[in-house]
Structure 1
Amino acid sequence: MTRQSISLTPPNDAWLKAQVESQEYASKSDVINDLIRKARAKQEEVEEIQKRLIHAEQSGFVAPDRQSILSEFKKELNSNG
């Protein structure tokens, strides 16, 4: 495993210590690795959603068209004063 040296602000260090003291994690490294795993999973989820949206747009499945959407927004804005 690669070793890294990082600097933490006092509040972040206190939070990490609290996570370890709660016995949910064995070490600060375990907390950091868990946070990174969660961030990576979230990023993968966002990328998958973006990929599906791009595919939907390119397939022509998007309806109504851009002009219809814009007209509807303008109409709604005008009616709400």
Structure 2
Amino acid sequence: MIRADLGQQLEAFVARLVETGRYTSQSEVLREGVRLIQDREVHIAALDASIARGIEQADAGQTKAAEEVFDRLERKYRDLSNAKA
């Protein structure tokens, strides 16, 4: 079993969540918090992998000039705007 000292402010917050019925127990609140952290870590790992791929592509010379990319995006969003009008 894990025990943690959350400090007064966080302990009071957890207690309020239980008292209001949002959660049925302190353990449920903490489990939910750890699940959220776990999800965030998965997203951060995916972002790190994406950044690493981008750096590898840049190092291999697989890039496009910024002007080319901006021109393409400008055309795309102009076309989208014109289609809605």
- One fold, TM greater than 0.5? yes
- Choose between structure 1 and 2: higher helix proportion: 2
Number of matched pairs: 63
RMSD: 1.8
Measure, in 2, the Cα distance between the counterparts of 1:8 and 1:49. Answer: 30
Out of 31, 34, 48, the position equivalent to 2:32 is 34
Q: Please give the TM-score of this superposition, normalised by the length of structure 1.
A: 0.67
Measure, in 2, the Cα distance between the counterparts of 1:47 and 1:36. Answer: 16
Measure, in 1, the Cα distance between the counterparts of 2:28 and 2:18. Answer: 9
Q: Given residue 50 of structure 1, which amino acid in structure 2 is its aligned partner?
A: D
Alignment partner of 2:21: what SS? coil
**2:52 aligned partner:** 54
Q: Given residue 38 of structure 2, which amino acid in structure 1 is its aligned partner?
A: R
- Structure 2: stretches of 5+ with no match in the other structure: 66-85
Shift of 1:8: 2.6
Shift of 1:62: 4.1
Q: Given residue 22 of structure 1, which amino acid in structure 2 is its aligned partner?
A: T
What CA deviation, in whole Å up to 9, does each residue of 1:26-66 have, x standing for no partner?
101100110010011011101101101111221234445xx
Q: Given residue 41 of structure 1, which amino acid in structure 2 is its aligned partner?
A: D
Percentage of identical aligned residues:
15
Q: Given residue 38 of structure 1, which amino acid in structure 2 is its aligned partner?
A: L
Q: After superposition, where does 1:2-81 map in structure 2 within 5 Å? A: 3-60=1-58, 61-64=62-65
